[in-house]
């Protein structure tokens, strides 16, 4: 038998061919990551995003440059830290953490120093999704106690109050309105109300049975981005402040949620996953325990829905929670 056609030769060739293919695939992957950086990174240069990641083994709050991947861990705590949001001037960060046995609301300086606890709720209460009024004097957040509550507190922990029932609150930049969601019949719709809980108005009538509507105001207060159900998927939509001129921005056929506007209003970040794990307590707990780092990457798109793409430096290591990738104010 010819030595160049026998089993030994074929085995050796197979190993060499496999190594070649592996190197070729890695080279191709590196090429496409580099190409993505060339195509998109420059347009995001100068921006910074607050994200939750599991790169340290638990959920931490990091600030990351989306075009370079430069990262700083702000929390550095063994607890689970979630839902970070910049203050309007970028000097502080509100977030939630279970470092005292339940998820309460905290504030820290933008460099992670001077952490202060603002709420002191006990289980089963869960605080989540804080947003700041434009003057920085009020933080509006959600609290789940078995029913959804919309609450507010001053950044020094004073003046805590329950505003109304509801979920996923977002206060407008001028501090006058709160967008939120509430179950209607079989699903959730988008509402707005005055900041004191009065004058509630329903903006959407399509009932989202998946949830995770997470509305957020545009920087000029003229639009609201939110998620709505399309078949078995969630897509990002936008409407004006009165619920008119509804436009679907994404068509990914997955679970797109937790939108956030860039400070210039030109970009929207959002999170994408393939499973609405929060619909099942068992699936939710399993997802958090597994700490899968590939399940909910950060995407960005232009404000008109064009050029939607994953942020390569945030494709992996992002936590599974529904935290927004919040843009640092300019």
Summarised one tens digit per residue, pLDDT across range 94-108 is 999 999 999 999 999
Count: domains in the chain: 1
pLDDT at residue 175 greater than cutoff 90: yes
Rounded average pLDDT over 305-324? 95
> Out of 21-25, 86-90, 165-169, 262-266, which region has the weakest mean confidence (pLDDT)?
21-25
29 in a domain, yes or no? no
Give the pLDDT confidence score for residue 195 in this predicted structure: 97
CB atoms within 10 A of CB 146: 8
Region of 231 please: left (phi>0), alpha (psi -120 to 50) or beta. Answer: left
Q: Which residue has the higher pLDDT, 287 or 206?
A: 206
Per the domain annotation, does 101 fall within a domain?
yes
- 272 part of a folded domain: yes
Identify the H or E element spanning 284: helix 281-290
Question: pLDDT tens-digit profile of 319-328?
Answer: 989 999 999 9
As a whole number, mean pLDDT of residues 284-289 equals 75
pLDDT value at position 19?
A: 42
Q: Is the pLDDT assigned to residue 305 strictly greater than 70?
A: yes
CA Rg value for the chain: 22
36 domain residue, yes or no: no
Q: Domain of 256?
A: 45-327
Report if residue 33 sits inside a domain. no
Q: Is 159 helix (H, G, I), strand (E, B) or coil?
A: coil
User: Confidence band (pLDDT; 50, 70, 90) for 278?
Assistant: confident
Task: Report pLDDT digits (tens) over 7-66.
Answer: 444 444 444 444 444 344 334 434 444 444 445 548 899 999 999 999 998 999 999 999
pTM as predicted: 0.86
Choose between 276 and 251: higher pLDDT: 251
Q: Is residue 15 part of a domain?
A: no
Q: Could you read off the pLDDT of 106-156 as tens digits, one per residue? A: 999 999 999 999 999 999 999 999 999 999 999 999 999 999 999 999 999
pLDDT of residue 40: 53
Q: Which range has the worst mean pLDDT, 174-183, 201-210, 314-323?
A: 314-323
DSSP assignment of 215-274 equals: -EE-TTSSEEEEEEEETTEEEEEEEETTS-S-EE----SSEEEEEEE-TTSSEEEEEEES
For residue 34, being part of any structural domain is answered with: no
Closest CA to 194 of 180, 207, 211: 180
Mean pLDDT of the chain: 89
1 located within any domain: no
CATH code assigned at 134: 2.120.10.30
What is the side-by-side order of every strand in the sheet holding 116-117? 81-86, 92-97, 104-109, 116-117
Q: What is the per-residue DSSP string for 103-127?
A: BEEEEEETTS-S-EE-----TT-EE
Give per-residue pLDDT as tens, 190-224. 999 999 999 999 999 999 999 999 999 999 999 99
Residue 320 CA, chain-centre distance (Å), reads 9
Q: Identify the pLDDT of residue 169.
A: 98
User: Is the pLDDT reported for residue 233 higher than 80?
Assistant: yes
On whether the CB atoms of residues 234 and 168 are closer than 8 A, the answer is no
Indicate the helix (H) or strand (E) that contains 145: none
Residue 5's pLDDT is 43
């Amino acid at each position: 038998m010819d030595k160049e056609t026998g089993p030994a030769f074929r085995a050796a060739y197979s190993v060499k061919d496999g190594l070649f293919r592996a190197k070729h695939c890695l080279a191709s992957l590196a090429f496409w990551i580099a190409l993505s950086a060339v195509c998109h990174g420059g347009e995001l240069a100068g921006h910074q995003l607050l994200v939750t990641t599991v790169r340290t083994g638990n959920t931490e709050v990091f600030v990351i440059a989306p075009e370079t991947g430069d990262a700083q861990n702000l929390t550095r705590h063994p607890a689970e830290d979630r839902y970070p949001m910049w203050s309007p001037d970028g000097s502080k960060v509100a977030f939630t953490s279970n470092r005292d046995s339940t998820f309460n609301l905290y504030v820290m300086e933008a460099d992670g120093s001077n952490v202060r606890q603002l709420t002191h709720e006990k289980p089963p209460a869960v605080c989540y999704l804080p947003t700041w009024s434009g003057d920085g004097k009020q933080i509006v957040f959600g609290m789940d106690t078995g029913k959804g509550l919309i609450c507010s507190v001053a950044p020094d922990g004073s003046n805590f109050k329950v505003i109304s029932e509801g979920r996923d609150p977002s206060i407008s930049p001028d501090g006058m309105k709160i967008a939120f969601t509430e179950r209607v019949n079989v699903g959730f719709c988008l509402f707005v109300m005055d900041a004191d809980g009065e004058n509630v108005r329903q903006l959407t009538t399509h009932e989202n049975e998946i949830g995770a509507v997470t509305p957020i105001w545009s920087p000029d207060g003229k639009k609201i981005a939110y998620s709505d159900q399309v078949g078995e998927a969630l897509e990002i939509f936008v409407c004006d402040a009165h619920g008119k001129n509804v436009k679907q921005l994404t068509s990914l056929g997955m679970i797109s949620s937790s939108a956030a506007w860039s400070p210039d209003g030109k970009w929207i970040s959002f999170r994408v996953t393939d499973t609405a794990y929060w619909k099942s307590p068992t699936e939710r707990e399993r997802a958090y325990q597994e700490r899968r780092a590939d399940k909910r990457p950060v995407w960005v798109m232009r404000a008109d829905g064009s050029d939607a793409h994953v942020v390569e430096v945030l494709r992996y290591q992002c936590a599974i929670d529904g935290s927004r990738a919040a843009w640092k104010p300019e």
